[in-house]
Amino acid sequence: MPLRIGDDAPDFSTETTEGIINFYEWIGDSWAVLFSHPKDFTPVCTTELGYMAGLKPEFDKRNCKIIGLSIDSVSDHVRWANDIQETQGHVLNYPLIGDTDLAVAKLFDMIHPNASGSSAQRTAADNATVRSVFVIGPDKKIKLMLTYPMSTGRNFDEVLRVLDSIQLTAKHQVATPVNWKAGEDVIIVPAVSDEEARKKFPQGWKAPKPYIRIVPQPE
């Protein structure tokens, strides 16, 4: 069955550049971003992983861990990290999974189910993981799923923006409008009645339509 938002994220144990981890234990009480890249020593992936390393302090502020994955070996990851630092200016500061048996990639539908993992026959159409992103909550449930084409580098600032929204809406009964950024106004969700809303938001709200109730972002 394909994974969907709200499903439990698959648990697994695997080898990474920071040793063997059990995914659930590694997440602990944190949030987590698990993302896959097609192949080590390739240009777009190098820019992505370097940028994510630079962005890691922002994820740390949000109690969110980062972990990457491809079906390359851990030893390849370690060698490639030197190129990432040299060309992108950031030291790799989060673990990379060496999923050489494709076990994790197949759990998360990051690779074709018939892919063999043969290094001699690896192609983008078969034996390369797609550019997937999963945001997983402390409850180990999937909160966000994104999949990008092989040729398009991801916007990890957008992943950070969505994390801000998810964390905010998990705490308060609000939703975030189009292009919302942290600190901007939010919308009271329809499930909250006006009576309940007056208790939660005593300062009141703007309502261009009865179903659009806009309030400042709660703390």
E runs forming strands in the chain: 13-16, 19-22, 31-36, 64-70, 96-98, 131-136, 142-148, 174-175, 186-188, 206-209, 212-215
What amino acid occupies position 105? Answer: A
pTM > 0.95: yes or no: no
> If you average pLDDT over residues 150-178, what whole number do you get?
96
Mean pLDDT, the chain, as a whole number? 93
Is 98 a residue whose pLDDT tops 80?
yes
Q: How far apart are CA 109 and CA 130, in angstroms?
A: 9
- Sheet-wide strand order for 96-98: 19-22, 13-16, 96-98, 64-70, 31-36, 131-136, 142-148
Of the residues 9, 45, 160, 168, only one is catalytic, namely 45
13-153 CATH pick, 3.30.70.890, 3.40.30.10, 3.30.1330.60, 1.10.3720.10: 3.40.30.10
What would you measure as the largest C-alpha separation in the chain, in angstroms? 65
Q: 6-58, pLDDT tens digit by residue?
A: 999 999 999 999 999 999 999 999 999 999 999 999 999 999 999 999 999 99
Domain boundaries, the chain: 13-153, 172-215
Q: How far apart are CA 11 and CA 142, in angstroms?
A: 12
> If you average pLDDT over residues 92-104, what whole number do you get?
95
Burial (CB < 10 A; 0-12, 13-18, 19+), residue 63, is: middle
Residue, of 40 and 126, whose pLDDT is higher = 40
Active site residue 64: no
- The tokens of 83 are what? 């190129």
Strand 186-188 to strand 131-136: parallel, antiparallel, or no bridges (unpaired)? Answer: unpaired
CA distances from 107 to 12, 113, 152, 207 (A): 9, 9, 23, 44
Q: How far apart are CA 210 and CA 207, in angstroms?
A: 6
> If you average pLDDT over residues 96-102, what whole number do you get?
94
Nearest to 214 by CA among 192, 186, 182, 190: 186
The separation between CA 165 and the C-alpha centre of its own chain, rounded to angstroms, equals 13
pLDDT (0 to 100) of residue 66: 98
Q: How far apart are CA 218 and CA 5, in angstroms?
A: 25
CATH code: domain 172-215 is: 3.30.1020.10
In this prediction, residue 121 has a pLDDT band, given cuts at 50, 70 and 90, of low
